[in-house]
Structure 1
């Protein structure tokens, strides 16, 4: 995975979530808090998701084959989409189920709070917030290196490498979820009423479902196939028309075969050539300019043509 894939951010998030998951499971075992269980499962899901992103990055580096002539760059999109499914089902739906179960337990047995080890969940959640903040800071730092002048919303929506947006949203969701869990647990300890714990768990579940849906929508767009961004399109057009070979671009299409691989297909208008050798030389020169301007443009197909202006159909007077 390239640096743009945010390997450092993924590993930082993985290490943080593994450590946090263990402490949360211990806290749940001691207190039977549903918020702690929901958060523990959330951390397990996040850890699995980071492992999936690493696997996707590794598999995407495989060389092209006759069956897959453009390589496996899109595997990164597939694994990012799987992450959204895991976050939705394992994280969000489980938390909502646990909230439902906790709510009915309070109805059947009467409102009751955390009966032992009262200090454990608060301590664990505060430590988890600190560890998750370090992970989130790493993701922000890695993202800022490639984000440029784009806003965070634009970065999430336009990034062709899916790993950093995924880690950013996961870490943001984790921090907000931890705050919700801390609020639910604290209110349960203060009031002795487990309904607060159930409410905190439900809020965590809804948060994870929303984040999972956002990830699924953005990753689906990448899976369907996105073209180059406006800046890259402008650079490619400039590279084509900078030389004397082309009189105009008739039409152009681009497609991301992966985060760092772009396919460019262009029909260009040229003057009539007497020798095919001269035409081939000029086409190669245009391709070289495109690759210099946009290094990720690795598959380039140029079709020369003679431009004919559309005939003007006279209108009746």
Structure 2
């Protein structure tokens, strides 16, 4: 199977986010080590976790886009959710775990943060770089939502492309985390109390915890076999029901096979007078109409069946 446009664009978004996070991670870790700031080191851990996540998401997209073979007749799309789930767990363990633990230790010990200027400079630069990465993700989301004639929020809730969702949530969390770190540093400098620096670190950890939980839940749902959104389900049902040789659609099942692949299976009651040739033509017409309206539909299976008598 050739790589779809959506997958190609997501690859670009992930690469941009990964390179941005790598540069930011190095700068934050250096600044955190020099200053001794808990919030700064937590932000460093945050960026390290994000960089590793982007590598895993890149792996997810590449491996998930492999063509079908005899052993995997529906392709490898669901493998992308396995790697994306691992990325969410990594964020949970490394990013959130380190930030919360380090923040608690700082609150208890009250160790002085040291030089503040380098931390402020790195945070300001990081904010700018993260904004560029987030802007690319937002542009992709806006294009995709316009193409589907839905709101961006609805697209994010229902999209099967968990990589773009991950990049958007992580970049958004990164900008919030940078702001929290800056606030914690500022309050610690003004009051001379390292409690604020430690609390900022804990808040950053909790923020990462929320992002990891959202992404893990989304990937688990898709791994189990999530149906298409209700609006799309209704559209598929109406397309099948509108065929002239169809009396009714008894059962309609849908499932995401990957970020760009959807399976549709239905039990269809064709008109009693329809011949075998007409049923075959109707099934072919149904597939052409569905794929024309929803390009991500990859497989359509129709099972001719009689309506059950009461």
Query: How high is the TM-score relative to the length of structure 2?
Result: 0.91
One of 139, 145, 148 as aligned partner of 1:147: 145
In structure 2, the CA distance between the partners of 1:288 and 1:16, relative to structure 1 (3 Å rule), is same
Counterpart secondary structure, 2:76: coil
Residues 21-40 of structure 1 mapped to structure 2, 5 A cutoff: 21-40=25-44
Indicate yes or no: 2:80 matched with 1:81: no
What corresponds to 1:205 in structure 2? 205
The separation in 2 between residues aligned to 1:96 and 1:21, in whole angstroms, is 18
The separation in 1 between residues aligned to 2:22 and 2:155, in whole angstroms, is 27
One of 69, 74, 79 as aligned partner of 1:70: 74
Q: RMSD of the TM alignment (CA)?
A: 2.0
One of 4, 8, 31 as aligned partner of 2:6: 4
In structure 2, the CA distance between the partners of 1:196 and 1:309, relative to structure 1 (3 Å rule), is same
Residues 144-223 of structure 1 mapped to structure 2, 5 A cutoff: 144-148=142-146, 150-223=150-223
- How far the C-alpha of 1:167 sits from its partner, in A, is 0.8
Indicate yes or no: 2:136 matched with 1:127: no
The separation in 2 between residues aligned to 1:27 and 1:18, in whole angstroms, is 14
The separation in 2 between residues aligned to 1:168 and 1:264, in whole angstroms, is 29
- How far the C-alpha of 1:308 sits from its partner, in A, is 4.2
In structure 2, the CA distance between the partners of 1:241 and 1:64, relative to structure 1 (3 Å rule), is same
Which deviations, in whole Å up to 9, do the C-alpha atoms of 1:4-47 show, x marking residues without a partner?
Answer: 34223222211211111111111122111111111111101101
- How far the C-alpha of 1:190 sits from its partner, in A, is 2.1
The separation in 1 between residues aligned to 2:225 and 2:21, in whole angstroms, is 32
Task: Point out the more displaced range, 75-84 or 289-298.
Answer: 289-298
Higher-Rg member (1/2): 1
In structure 2, the CA distance between the partners of 1:114 and 1:236, relative to structure 1 (3 Å rule), is closer
Counterpart secondary structure, 2:302: strand
Task: Point out the more displaced range, 300-309 or 69-78.
Answer: 300-309
> Which residues of structure 2 form unaligned runs of 5+?
none
Counterpart secondary structure, 2:246: coil
Indicate yes or no: 2:237 matched with 1:237: yes
Which deviations, in whole Å up to 9, do the C-alpha atoms of 1:262-310 show, x marking residues without a partner?
Answer: 1111111123468644433333233333322322222111111232442
Counterpart secondary structure, 2:69: coil
- Contact 1:267 1:304 (8 Å CA) reproduced: yes
One of 20, 41, 46 as aligned partner of 1:42: 46
- How far the C-alpha of 1:136 sits from its partner, in A, is 1.3
